[in-house]
Structure 1
Amino acid sequence: MNRKQVLSSCNIVQLVKQREIKDCTSYRLQQGLHVTEDYVKRLGLEKELEGHNGCVNCLEWSQDGRILASASDDVQVILWDPLLHRKIHAIQTGHQGNIFSVKFLPQSGDSVLLTGAGDCRIRVHDVNLKETTHICSCHTGRVKRLATAPDVPYMFWSAAEDGTVMQFDLRTPHSCSREVNNVLVNLLSHLGRYAEAKCVAINPRRPELLAVGANDPYIRVYDRRMITPTTIQYPPENSLRSNWERHHYMASRAGEGESEANMPLGCVQYYVAGHLPVKQQDYKKKYRNLASTYVTFSADGNELLVNLGGEQIYLFDINSKRKTTKFDIHAEQTNKEHSVSSNGFRNIADGFSGPSSCSNGVSLFSASFPVTVADKKQPPLLPTRVEMLRLKANQAFDFQHFSTAIMLYNKAISLNGNTALLYGNRAAAYMKRAWDGDIYAAMRDCHTALHLDPAYVKAHFRLARCLLELQWVQEAEECLRSFKEKFPGHGHSHACKALCKDIQDAVTPSCDDGELPQDTRYVYDGELPRDSSECGSSDLQFKVQDSISQQERSWREAASDYKVRFCGHCNTTTDIKEANFFGSEGQYIVAGSDDGSFFIWDRKTTNIVRVLKGDDAIVNCLQPHPSSCLLATSGIDQVVRLWSPRPMVQTRDRRQVRAKTNELGTGSGQLAGNERDGSKNDREVLDLDDAASANQKRMNADPFEVMLMNMGYRITSVHSEEGSETSGSEDAAINCRAS
């Protein structure tokens, strides 16, 4: 029984009464009322917890949600009572660097804490004894993430920028010496000397699965049962005295691969957004490095959420391994045998070029097509609500409000996902908006539309255009050739000739294009070390990259594509930015942004539903409460903020507030969005499209301009001239060093 059925089957009063009798009712009530649409609409700031003297880099709830732990650049951990809003205990960790991760050890009664920091150390703290019980110095790089499994006590895992993921068991003796024998994954062996492990997570339902994010666009999910931990043996200690010397010793043996006895080919599954491997070099030319800043599994363990720095947020289905689809001529020939699609229509127009449409989509490869009898067929009959959404989306497209059009098509597809028309229209809007990943999303929509209706003319043509934009020139050429054979009446159109010329130009590029030679396609494509940008030469950057191992090539070729993606935030400045599921069933996705806001997406439609100001500079951490509609956030500010639903407004109170608002000259529309409890919610961003568009500009801005903007300067090429709701945070200076 899903959440809506729980709430509709009987009212809340009856559920509360039955909870006293039946245990199952208690679970249904908690699951159904954990996070609802109404709660999300009323979400507002509840309290600011003050006590830290530096940026708060990580948050963690205890298993029962009674304690919230926060760790900061001030190298202390504070335990909070979230209900009473008071500090329980402050732990001086003894770290010599910024703390990046804090975890409660499972089944320890919330009395054992783990911390990992920039001093390359992991410390284990006993809260009751108020002392540090273990200190581990095995890593030679900053420890960025720690991970635990709910049903696996005494064990934890760590990911560090030395390129290793280590496994610890507190039941066994451990000493940090010149022999490190608990290395579970060594990325240096496969990626080269500049590999870094950025984040790690354990599947809560299948703890044998471990997800690792690195400083490249790939996500790796390992089966720990198939891996034999390896040993790194350093020379005598007197020859390697510093972490840098130890890491240099490890890096000197990078790229050699590993024995299949330690790590067989079938022990890991790779995941990556299909367009990123080919777009990686384009991002590097713009000094944009892709790195996973956070990975987490869903509560049921079937999905993996990834916040990819420099790009978007992606959701992967670990059970359904979807491969990257470009253009399969054999599948296309199979589709030719079916003259009628699954929705009963063929050669349908996409709703943009009908008699009543003036410019909606006409300029997008349709105006130059000769009009045939098939093109004049009416669009399929849709349910009334879906048809209204489609018409509104078409109108938004007419006015070039492409984000609004995409949002409306998302809603329509969530209600009726078997209509090729909707996917074709959304593909056109994606291609016009052209945010990061939009062209690839449009290509996927074209494939879906052609699967539903193989005779969809414009979807086939747009597919060829998308393939060309994604630099898959050979596939684009095959797709266009198939298009001419399948629709000979359109083969001589102006649009078709223009696309054919573009493909021919791409097939024979000039020597000035600056393309890499073919034999560099397997070089390490991760993030370069932080000081590599000082050289100022892209050629030098490529020379210092190491070749990846043969195992790595095989794993990448078998990588699976994403299920859905979430756009609107900006993740370029810090490498600890989180994204999390919100709700007992993961109904919503939450993530922080470089503009000081945090975004809430509807998971089903992928639309932005709320944007709230969570920090004066950057929001890094968002941790939902395990059983209540309570969200903890932190960032550059030295406080922890708690967010919960604000009280509902009674009808009479709403009239009074509205009258008072009118006296002050504030529009009533703002009341509906900002004043649900009679007081103005200054932290709500009303214009969601402007906030998302500004973040997209920020992600594509010059890094030097972003640096100046973080220092408080206003950059006209990044800021909107209209002065959107997000401009206030972008003018603010960062008051402490970002990690």
Structure 2
Amino acid sequence: MSVTELKERHRVAAETVNSLRERLKQRRIQLLDTNVADYARAQGRTPVAFGQTDLVCCRTLQGHNGKVYSLDWTPEKNRIVSASQDGRLIVWNALTSQKIHAIKLPCAFVMTCAFAPNGQSVAYGGLDSVCSIFNLNSPTDKDGNLPVARTLSSHRGYVSSCQYVPDEDNHLITGSGDHTCVLWDISTGLRTSVFGGEFQSGHTADVLSVSISGLNSRLFVSGSCDSTARLWDTRVASRAVRTFHGHEGDVNTVKFFPDGNRFGTGSDDGTCRLFDIRTGHELQVYHQQHGRNEIPHVTSIAFSISGRLLFAGYTNGDCYVWDTLLAQVVLNLGTLQNSHESRISCLGLSADGSALCTGSWDANLKIWAFGGIRKVI
């Protein structure tokens, strides 16, 4: 068979796949009777009202000398760990801005970090393809550095994300550039389960983010460069429970909704989306109009305690506060006083929902809090 014939067969096959994909997309649309915003309007819901002083930057955490890539809060809400490409993890007291620990990393190219549920250890991963654990109570070495307590090694690509299983200090899930997610037993340093890889239902490109359900720790979702998000059950590692389509770019971030039945995503296509894990349907798209060549990528998202607000960070320095029900932007933190000067790379909400922390390529972290008297939304 000639090269010309092979190219023609490839072209025909590609057209067939695209046609089937479009038909599947239209079929999904037909199955949806409404979306969240239309239903909320039909119920007479009104938008959340925010003024310029309802969310204020109350603290700026300065200490990193490189781009901040990841952050995480402790469950008791008063400490934050941040990872920067200056090669350090810093544990902060969020109330006083004091640095509690400054941990020198074996590999400077860090991409993710996480606090253990008990707040006594932190994990980090990056381009060295391992996830390392530090015990914050361990004595420092002769150079004043905290030693690595455990190294989790088996990924064949960079470690892009990690999260401890809620209420379990000895189990952690990582996502990697090798297209897989792994559930680890930290006490032994061994893999408990591998999700994806050789299994056909796994991701076909780099995994960029994972999020574990707070109500059912056996379920987690992953986002990938293959433009999909997938739902996994840790008891059935051989296949994904469900695959979620809709994005037209890398899915950079995923986050479970507070009720555990939905999750949000953020993508290079400039949109955030809300999916239902029970039906597989896309419930809402959060998209701000921009010029054709000026679409900022979504880097990180978080939901308020009730789920009424969706916080989304973008590569252009904006941080939108979306009304989740009506899909409207109610505030842009990037326009407020003391906002970041560069890309928002990560963000996270405190355990009680009273404060939001954002990290940026400007090497700073900022803590935003609700001003005045306002009920938790």
How would you bin the TM-score normalised by the shorter chain?
A: 0.7 to 0.9
Report the Cα offset of residue 192 of structure 1: 9.6
Residues 507-522 of structure 1 correspond to what in structure 2 (within 5 A)?
Answer: none
Q: CA 1:154/1:569 → structure 2, altered by over 3 Å: closer, same or farther?
A: farther
**What is the aligned counterpart of 1:99 among 105, 110, 113?**
110
Instruction: Provide the residue aligned with 2:5 in structure 1.
Output: none
Q: Is the 8 A contact 2:116 2:164 kept in 1?
A: yes
Residues 415-454 of structure 1 correspond to what in structure 2 (within 5 A)?
Answer: none
The answer as to 2:140 corresponding to 1:128 is: no
Q: Is the 8 A contact 1:188 1:195 kept in 2?
A: no
Q: Is the 8 A contact 2:297 2:314 kept in 1?
A: no
**What is the aligned counterpart of 2:57 among 45, 48, 60?**
45
Q: Provide the C-alpha distance between the structure 1 equivalents of 2:323 and 2:189, rounded to a whole number of angstroms.
A: 46
Report the Cα offset of residue 611 of structure 1: 0.8
Q: CA 1:79/1:226 → structure 2, altered by over 3 Å: closer, same or farther?
A: same
Secondary structure, aligned partner of 1:211: strand
Aligned residues: 312
| Matching residue's letter, 1:612 | L
Higher strand residue share: 2
| Matching residue's letter, 1:603 | T
**What is the aligned counterpart of 1:312 among 257, 271, 292?**
271
Secondary structure, aligned partner of 1:608: strand
Residues 322-341 of structure 1 correspond to what in structure 2 (within 5 A)?
Answer: none
Instruction: Provide the residue aligned with 1:396 in structure 2.
Output: none
Instruction: Provide the residue aligned with 1:727 in structure 2.
Output: none
Q: Provide the C-alpha distance between the structure 2 equivalents of 1:39 and 1:628, rounded to a whole number of angstroms.
A: 19
Structure 1 stretches of 5 or more lacking a match?
1-35, 175-180, 228-261, 281-289, 322-559, 649-739
Instruction: Provide the residue aligned with 1:270 in structure 2.
Output: 243
| Matching residue's letter, 1:47 | R
Q: Provide the C-alpha distance between the structure 2 equivalents of 1:169 and 1:52, rounded to a whole number of angstroms.
A: 31
Q: Is the 8 A contact 2:184 2:193 kept in 1?
A: no
Q: Provide the C-alpha distance between the structure 2 equivalents of 1:216 and 1:173, rounded to a whole number of angstroms.
A: 29
Residues 239-250 of structure 1 correspond to what in structure 2 (within 5 A)?
Answer: none
Report the Cα offset of residue 48 of structure 1: 1.1
CA deviation digits over 1:658-690, x for unaligned, max 9? xxxxxxxxxxxxxxxxxxxxxxxxxxxxxxxxx
Secondary structure, aligned partner of 1:190: coil
**What is the aligned counterpart of 2:288 among 562, 565, 568?**
568
Secondary structure, aligned partner of 2:333: strand
The answer as to 2:114 corresponding to 1:114 is: no
Q: CA 1:643/1:198 → structure 2, altered by over 3 Å: closer, same or farther?
A: same
CA deviation digits over 1:264-297, x for unaligned, max 9? xxx5111222xx5xxx6xxxxxxxxx11111111
The answer as to 2:325 corresponding to 1:604 is: yes
Report the Cα offset of residue 629 of structure 1: 2.3
Instruction: Provide the residue aligned with 2:215 in structure 1.
Output: 205
**What is the aligned counterpart of 1:84 among 81, 96, 105?**
96
CA RMSD, 1 decimal: 2.5
Instruction: Provide the residue aligned with 1:167 in structure 2.
Output: 183
Instruction: Provide the residue aligned with 1:195 in structure 2.
Output: 205
Q: Provide the C-alpha distance between the structure 2 equivalents of 1:193 and 1:170, rounded to a whole number of angstroms.
A: 24
Report the Cα offset of residue 136 of structure 1: 2.6
Q: CA 1:568/1:141 → structure 2, altered by over 3 Å: closer, same or farther?
A: same
| Identity %, equivalent residues | 23
Residues 97-496 of structure 1 correspond to what in structure 2 (within 5 A)?
Answer: 97-106=108-117, 108=118, 110-129=119-138, 130-172=146-188, 174=190, 182-187=192-197, 189-190=199-200, 195-227=205-237, 262-263=238-239, 268-273=241-246, 290-319=249-278, 321=279
The answer as to 2:80 corresponding to 1:68 is: yes
Report the Cα offset of residue 188 of structure 1: 5.4
Secondary structure, aligned partner of 1:632: strand
| Matching residue's letter, 1:270 | T
| Matching residue's letter, 2:159 | V
Residues 508-547 of structure 1 correspond to what in structure 2 (within 5 A)?
Answer: none
Q: CA 1:599/1:574 → structure 2, altered by over 3 Å: closer, same or farther?
A: closer
Secondary structure, aligned partner of 2:78: coil
Q: Provide the C-alpha distance between the structure 2 equivalents of 1:124 and 1:598, rounded to a whole number of angstroms.
A: 31
Q: Provide the C-alpha distance between the structure 2 equivalents of 1:55 and 1:173, rounded to a whole number of angstroms.
A: 29
Q: Provide the C-alpha distance between the structure 2 equivalents of 1:572 and 1:150, rounded to a whole number of angstroms.
A: 35
Q: Is the 8 A contact 1:68 1:81 kept in 2?
A: yes
Q: Provide the C-alpha distance between the structure 2 equivalents of 1:150 and 1:591, rounded to a whole number of angstroms.
A: 23
Report the Cα offset of residue 642 of structure 1: 1.1
Secondary structure, aligned partner of 2:235: helix
Instruction: Provide the residue aligned with 1:635 in structure 2.
Output: 360
Q: Provide the C-alpha distance between the structure 2 equivalents of 1:80 and 1:37, rounded to a whole number of angstroms.
A: 32
Structure 2 stretches of 5 or more lacking a match?
1-47, 139-145
Report the Cα offset of residue 116 of structure 1: 0.8
Q: Provide the C-alpha distance between the structure 1 equivalents of 2:310 and 2:170, rounded to a whole number of angstroms.
A: 30
Q: Is the 8 A contact 2:50 2:330 kept in 1?
A: no
Q: Is the 8 A contact 1:295 1:305 kept in 2?
A: yes
Q: Provide the C-alpha distance between the structure 1 equivalents of 2:55 and 2:154, rounded to a whole number of angstroms.
A: 43
Secondary structure, aligned partner of 2:200: helix
Q: Is the 8 A contact 2:132 2:152 kept in 1?
A: yes
Report the Cα offset of residue 587 of structure 1: 1.3
CA deviation digits over 1:487-531, x for unaligned, max 9? xxxxxxxxxxxxxxxxxxxxxxxxxxxxxxxxxxxxxxxxxxxxx
The answer as to 2:303 corresponding to 1:578 is: no
Instruction: Provide the residue aligned with 1:644 in structure 2.
Output: 369
Report the Cα offset of residue 104 of structure 1: 1.3
| Matching residue's letter, 2:322 | W
**What is the aligned counterpart of 1:623 among 325, 348, 354?**
348
Report the Cα offset of residue 187 of structure 1: 3.8
Q: CA 1:173/1:562 → structure 2, altered by over 3 Å: closer, same or farther?
A: closer
Q: Provide the C-alpha distance between the structure 1 equivalents of 2:99 and 2:125, rounded to a whole number of angstroms.
A: 22
Q: Provide the C-alpha distance between the structure 2 equivalents of 1:73 and 1:567, rounded to a whole number of angstroms.
A: 30
Q: Provide the C-alpha distance between the structure 2 equivalents of 1:567 and 1:209, rounded to a whole number of angstroms.
A: 27
Q: Provide the C-alpha distance between the structure 2 equivalents of 1:610 and 1:52, rounded to a whole number of angstroms.
A: 28
Higher helix residue share: 1
Q: Provide the C-alpha distance between the structure 2 equivalents of 1:183 and 1:162, rounded to a whole number of angstroms.
A: 15
Q: Provide the C-alpha distance between the structure 2 equivalents of 1:309 and 1:205, rounded to a whole number of angstroms.
A: 28
Report the Cα offset of residue 113 of structure 1: 0.7
Secondary structure, aligned partner of 2:230: strand
Q: Provide the C-alpha distance between the structure 2 equivalents of 1:188 and 1:620, rounded to a whole number of angstroms.
A: 31
| Matching residue's letter, 1:580 | A
Q: Provide the C-alpha distance between the structure 2 equivalents of 1:117 and 1:137, rounded to a whole number of angstroms.
A: 12
| Matching residue's letter, 1:202 | I
| Matching residue's letter, 2:331 | R
Q: CA 1:271/1:128 → structure 2, altered by over 3 Å: closer, same or farther?
A: same
Q: Provide the C-alpha distance between the structure 1 equivalents of 2:234 and 2:286, rounded to a whole number of angstroms.
A: 30
Report the Cα offset of residue 65 of structure 1: 0.4
Instruction: Provide the residue aligned with 1:256 in structure 2.
Output: none
Report the Cα offset of residue 40 of structure 1: 8.0
Q: CA 1:74/1:569 → structure 2, altered by over 3 Å: closer, same or farther?
A: farther
Secondary structure, aligned partner of 2:330: strand
Q: Provide the C-alpha distance between the structure 1 equivalents of 2:327 and 2:70, rounded to a whole number of angstroms.
A: 26
Report the Cα offset of residue 568 of structure 1: 2.0
Q: Provide the C-alpha distance between the structure 2 equivalents of 1:37 and 1:46, rounded to a whole number of angstroms.
A: 21
| Deviation >6 Å, runs of 4+ | 191-194, 569-575
Q: Is the 8 A contact 1:569 1:591 kept in 2?
A: no
Q: Provide the C-alpha distance between the structure 2 equivalents of 1:74 and 1:569, rounded to a whole number of angstroms.
A: 35
